[in-house]
Structures are given as C-alpha cells and as structure tokens.
Structure 1
Amino acid sequence: MRQLIPKVFLFAVCLMFLCGVSCVWAGEWQVVERHQLTLKHQLSDSASANRYLNQLFLQREIVRKKLGHIPITPVTVYLASSQRVFDDLTQGRLPHWSAAVAMPALQTIVLRSEHVSQRVQTMQHEFSHVLLYAAVGKHVPVWFNEGLAMWASHEWRLQHTASVLYAVLSGGLIPLSEIDSVLRFPSVKADLAYTESLLAVLYIIRLGGENAVVAMMSELSHGAPFDVALFRVTEKTPHEFEQAWRDYVSGRFSLTALLVSPDSLWGYLVLLFGVAYVAVKLRNRTKLRRWEAEERMEELELKVYQPEDTP
C-alpha cells in the first residue's frame, strides 16, 4: 500500500466541498475577516463570531510557533451550526465520528460550533493540517500528518493509553503504512490509528531531540523527500524507524513498564483503566456471540418445527 495520500482522493474531497458550499446554504453565510482569516458563519452564531475569530487567530499562531514560525497562509473557516449543516457541507462523506475537517489544498477548515468543549484542540488540530500543507507543498505520510496535528494540539487522554495497552497486549498495533486508510476505519480503530500516529511523532522527537519537528519542517519545506528528511533527523530509514518505533511502543506500554514506572500510582490507574477497557471489550464480544447463537437456535427451531396437518 502506498504511504502517500492519493492526489485523486484529495481532488475528490475538494470538489465535493465546493459543490456543498455552492449548492447548500449558499445565501446564509455571514462573513468576518481579520489577520488573513475569514470566518463564515450562520446567523445563529453571529453573537459569538468575533470571539470565534479571535480564538482562531490565537490558535493559528500557537501552531505556527510549534512548527517553527512557518509563513502565514490565508485560511477560510466555515462554522457549521449543526450536524445537518456539517453533513451538507461535506456531502455526508465523512465518518460519523468526525467533528471537523481540513481541506489544505483549499486552505479551508469546517468546524462544528456545538463542540465547544473541544474547540481549542480542534482548531489547533485542523490548523496543523493546513499549515503543514502550505509550508511543505507536498504530501507526507498520513501518520505524520495526523500525528503532527495531535502533537500540536496536545491530544492525549487516559483512554488513549488504555487503547494502546490493549493493542500491545493483543498484538493489534496497526502498521504505520496502513494508517493511510484511517477514514475508512471504524471509530475505535481510527482512534488507535490517531494515537499511534502521535506516538510516532513523539518517537521522532525522542530520536531527534526537542527541535526535531522544526527540523523536519525545515527539511521538508526546502524540498527534501519525506524519507530523506526522516533519515536526516532520526538517522533511520522508514523501515528501521517503524521497527524501532514498534519496539519502543511495546516496551513503553508493557505491563512491566507501567508497574515499575516512576509515576507508579499513575501506572496502576492506567492499568486499572486498561483492565476495565479489556473487560468491556471481552464482555461485548461474549454478548455478541450469545446473540448470534440464540439467533441460530431460533432459526433451527423454525426449520424443525412443522405443524400437524389439520383434518
């Protein structure tokens, strides 16, 4: 499987979005602009539009700093006031778990305004995609793109630790190259793929030092192919990097590592959460098998039962 996002897919997504904007809600968008940011919103969000725009500016600058003060690029943000508007804009082509989407080639982001609690992280995540594309001007592996966005937005929760722990113990780590297909994954597998992507970027920093991300961005923006940039920063080929990364993740998220960690109390909490996570998955599998067995028995009863003929 190729490790780069196909150009035809990117073109299709952009074309889909343009059709959505031109055909749906075309006359209802209000516009506010500042600092090379354009916010398009509906009347229901007018009262908070300027606050949103200020927040967008702040989060864009935070991400720019993390990526090495890369050049500013104009960005248009659509604020969808409901799930229905979001689905109309994206033509319903995104997974149900999507809360936002970036279309870097169009320098465009679509956000759902009702996700207030996750607003800052979501803005940073999507700005990372747009700014990376604008600075690099070429495709990069999906795991690096998504991992960089998660790193820039500080996306790490206890459930991520539990999901990686379960994947390590069950032998279910996803190869980095397979993360290309993340948009076709079910939500649980997609969550693991995003978490692994973040861990891969953190491993680049572990190998290349605290300025590794800035160094990668510099190499890529000056025309280096991704494999070359990765080697210059980590001194590993993509194959060597992935093997070392898998060993690193397997070691970091083993039961032994959690129990002897300096933060042992945290380790025990993670372990407890992980055990509960595994127990729920096993219980759900058992319940599913029971339901399937009951369905087979019902089908069998229907087949063997033949009513007696009435005289």
Structure 2
Amino acid sequence: MLKLNKIFIFTGCLLVILSIELLLAQKQTKTYRNYHFVYDTADSVYVKKLAAKIKKQLHQIEFFFNYKPKSIITIIITRSDAEYTSYRGKIMPEWSQALALTREKIILLKIENADDIIRSPEILLHELVHIFFDDRITTHKIPVWLHEGIAQYLSGYELTVNDRIHLANALTSNNIISLTAMDSLFTFGQVKARLAYIEALTAIQFIVKNHGVAALQMLINN
C-alpha cells in the first residue's frame, strides 16, 4: 500500500508539473532575487506589493535556517479555484490555499478575493518555509506538526480569537489531535485540519516562550 501511495503521489506531482509548463506561456513574470513570480498581467501591481511585503519576514526565515536559496523558486499566482485546481491536480486536499512542490521549487497560490490578498504574504512565506526545510534538512524526516508549526510561526501568523475558541472547544470536548496523528494531516477534513494547524502553532509558541527560538533549531537539526 505504501508503495502504491508513493507511485500515486509521484504521478500526481508529474501531472502538476506538466500542467504548469503548458500554462506558464500565458503569464507575466517578475523576479526578486531567486524568487520568480508568475502571474496574469492584471496582477502586476499586486505582485509588486506582495514581493515588497514579504521582504522583512523572508530575511528572518533565511536567518533561522542560516540559508539563502541558490536555485530559482517559482511562485505562481492563480486567481480562481478552477485555475488553482488545474495546476494542483488531486495531490492536495480541496481546502488547501497553496501548494509547495519542494523538490521542483514551485509554489502555487490561490488568490480569489480581498481576504486572500490580505493573507497572501503570510501564506507565501509559509510555503517558502516548506521549501527551505526540504533544502536544509536532508538527513532525517521532520514530523508534520513540527514542520507546519514552524511554517506558521516563521510566516508571522498569529492565532486569532476564533482560533483560540476552536482550541478551547477541542480541549473541553476531549477532541485534541495527537501530534503523531498530524502525520495524516492531508487526509483530514477542513475543520479537523484547522484544529491541527492551531495545535501545531500552539506547540511551537510554547517551545519558543519557554526555551527560545534556538530550541526549534536544535529540534529540526537533531
């Protein structure tokens, strides 16, 4: 079963890459350092602002990993669920807002409305952290809770009041997800996945508060 799953994932990734290559010819491009943005002409101003907004936090991510990408990372902006799905295929759950193909150094962003535009710097930084992980941590596997928790933390995401209420409700109803169970995150429904992300970030915040950021660096390197 594991072998079949790996074949399915590989085939899905291959189809995504082929779809991307076919559709890129219709797009405009902008390059900031090693970050190559691909987008529709109408989004030129938005992409310029997006590149500017990620700069400060991106430097912090590079500092955390003590690393700057040497190869090009392609960031594709999609403007509808249909367009995003045409690239994404079926390798990610329907609730996903973005996708990082870490080995291929490709990020897909789905931007459909004003709220997506506001959140897009944080979402993009989150996906960039996944690529940094793949580049820097090559000798061992990082647990999903740690991977996703650090991606949220380094992207600058802060838990909202609703997030905290969601977590409190899970605690009182004894529906907390174990950290090891989060390895199956991408099979979760949207509500359960949201709780998993909240728990992962909460765990990272606890570690940082009590032991400092250096403790996170030790965790991922050992």
**Do Structure 1 and Structure 2 share a fold, with TM-score over 0.5?**
yes
* 2:135 matched residue in structure 1: 134
* 2:214 matched residue in structure 1: 211
Residue identity (%) = 23
d(CA) in 2 for partners of 1:98, 1:44:
24
Q: Does residue 201 in structure 1 map to residue 198 in structure 2?
A: no
* 1:35 matched residue in structure 2: 33
Superposed CA deviations along residues 254-305 of structure 1, whole A, max 9, x for unmatched, are xxxxxxxxxxxxxxxxxxxxxxxxxxxxxxxxxxxxxxxxxxxxxxxxxxxx
- Segments of structure 2 that go 5 or more residues without pairing to the other structure are none
* 2:46 matched residue in structure 1: 48
* 2:117 matched residue in structure 1: 116
* 1:277 matched residue in structure 2: none
* 1:103 matched residue in structure 2: 101
* 2:78 matched residue in structure 1: 80
What letter is aligned with 2:20?
V
d(CA) in 1 for partners of 2:8, 2:179:
19
Displacement of 1:203: 3.4
Displacement of 1:61: 2.0
What letter is aligned with 1:124?
L
SS in 2 for 1:101: strand
Superposed CA deviations along residues 16-51 of structure 1, whole A, max 9, x for unmatched, are 32022134x243122222311111112232343333
Displacement of 1:53: 3.1
Change in Cα spacing, 1:201 to 1:13, as seen in structure 2 (3 Å) is farther
* 2:66 matched residue in structure 1: 69
Q: Does residue 143 in structure 1 map to residue 145 in structure 2?
A: yes
SS in 2 for 1:117: helix
Kept in 2, the 8 Å contact 1:204–1:212? The answer is yes
* 2:58 matched residue in structure 1: 60
Q: TM-score, normalised by structure 2?
A: 0.84
Displacement of 1:104: 1.3
* 1:188 matched residue in structure 2: 191
Kept in 1, the 8 Å contact 2:50–2:121? The answer is no
Displacement of 1:75: 1.3
Change in Cα spacing, 1:36 to 1:210, as seen in structure 2 (3 Å) is closer
* 1:242 matched residue in structure 2: none
SS in 1 for 2:53: helix
Deviates more, 1:137-146 or 1:41-50: 41-50
Kept in 2, the 8 Å contact 1:79–1:110? The answer is yes
- Segments of structure 1 that go 5 or more residues without pairing to the other structure are 221-228, 230-311
Change in Cα spacing, 1:207 to 1:62, as seen in structure 2 (3 Å) is closer
* 1:17 matched residue in structure 2: 16
Superposed CA deviations along residues 117-148 of structure 1, whole A, max 9, x for unmatched, are 21221122111111121111243111111111
Displacement of 1:11: 3.2
What letter is aligned with 2:154?
A
d(CA) in 2 for partners of 1:199, 1:54:
28
Change in Cα spacing, 1:144 to 1:122, as seen in structure 2 (3 Å) is same
SS in 1 for 2:93: coil
What letter is aligned with 2:153?
W
What letter is aligned with 2:13?
C
d(CA) in 1 for partners of 2:177, 2:54:
33
Change in Cα spacing, 1:12 to 1:141, as seen in structure 2 (3 Å) is farther
d(CA) in 2 for partners of 1:147, 1:97:
18
Match of 1:157 among 160, 184, 190: 160
Q: TM-score, normalised by structure 1?
A: 0.61
Kept in 2, the 8 Å contact 1:44–1:81? The answer is no
CA RMSD of the aligned region, Å? 2.4
Displacement of 1:172: 0.8
SS in 2 for 1:175: coil
d(CA) in 2 for partners of 1:55, 1:108:
20
Kept in 2, the 8 Å contact 1:14–1:105? The answer is no
When Rg is computed on C-alpha atoms for both structures, the one with the higher figure is: 1
Displacement of 1:111: 1.0
